[in-house]
Amino acid sequence: MTAAHAIVGVILAGGLSSRMGQDKARIRLGGAALIDRAARRLKPQVSAIAVNANGPVLFERGEELPVFADLDAARAGPLGGVLAALDYARRHHPEASHVATVPTDSPFFPTDLVARLSRVVDTPERMAVARSVSGLHPVFALWPVTLAADLAEWLAGGGALRVRSYLERHQAREITFPLIETPRGEFDPFFNINTPDDLDEAENWLWVLER
C-alpha cells in the first residue's frame, strides 16, 4: 500500500483511566494535554483524523477534531473503540481503505508509524501491528475498513476482548520498531502512561528527548 491510500487516523481515548484516577486525555505533559500531543503526532501521518471517546473531549488552541463514541454502551475495551472507528471511517470517509489507531496515552510513538505499517499491507484485507523489544503493541495498528462486520460479529459472539487475539486470528503482519537512542539510554517509543508514576517517568524522558 502506498501513502496515496486514504487512511483515517483515530486516537483511542474511550477507556476509563481508572489507574490514573482522571481522564488521561486531559493529563498534561510538558505543557500540552496528551490528546493534543497525540493529535499533533498522528495528523501528518494520515489523510484524516478523529477521536474515539465516551465522554466530553476538550481541545486546546481551537484544534477541534471529530469525536465519536463506542457503538455499544457496554464497554468492549479497545476493540469496541476500533469497531466504532471502522464505522466512523465507513460513514465519513468512504474513500478510506484502513484506519490507523493509536492510544491517547502514548506520547512518543514513531513519526513513521503509519508509513511503516502501510508498507506491509499488500492486500485490502491485510492488518498490520507494531512491535518493539517490549512486546506487541496491539492498539498501534492498521485495520481494514472492510473488517467492520467481522469484528462486530466477533464481539457480539463473545469473542475474546483482547485485541491481540483478534490480530492473531487475522494473521496481522508485525513490524518491529527500534528503541530511541538517548544520552540517558534506550527508550521505547511505545511507552505509555497509565499511572501517576508513569507520568513522572514520561516527564523525565521528555526532558531528555526534547533537549
Ligand X SMILES: Nc1nc2c(ncn2[C@@H]2O[C@H](COP(=O)(O)OP(=O)(O)OP(=O)(O)O)[C@@H](O)[C@H]2O)c(=O)[nH]1
Return residues touching ligand X (CB under 6 A): 12-19, 24, 52, 70, 75-78, 80-81, 103-105, 139, 194
CB of 10 to ligand X, least distance (A): 10
Query: Was 12 annotated as part of a binding site?
Result: yes
Question: For residues 177, 181, 186 and 191, what is the CA-based torsion angle, rounded to 10 degrees?
Answer: -50
Q: Which is nearer to ligand X, 1 or 140 (CB)?
A: 140
**Between 104 and 118, whose beta carbon lies closer to ligand X?**
104
Is 14 annotated to bind ligand?
yes
Q: Does the annotation flag 141 for ligand binding? A: no
In the bound state with ligand X, the residue whose beta carbon lies nearer, of 14 and 144, is 14
For cell 457480539, name the residue. Answer: 156
Determine how many CB atoms are found less than 10 A away from the CB of residue 175.
20
Residue closer to ligand X (CB basis): 70 or 145: 70
- Residues annotated within a binding site for Mg(2+): 105
The binding site for GTP comprises 12-14, 24, 52, 70, 105
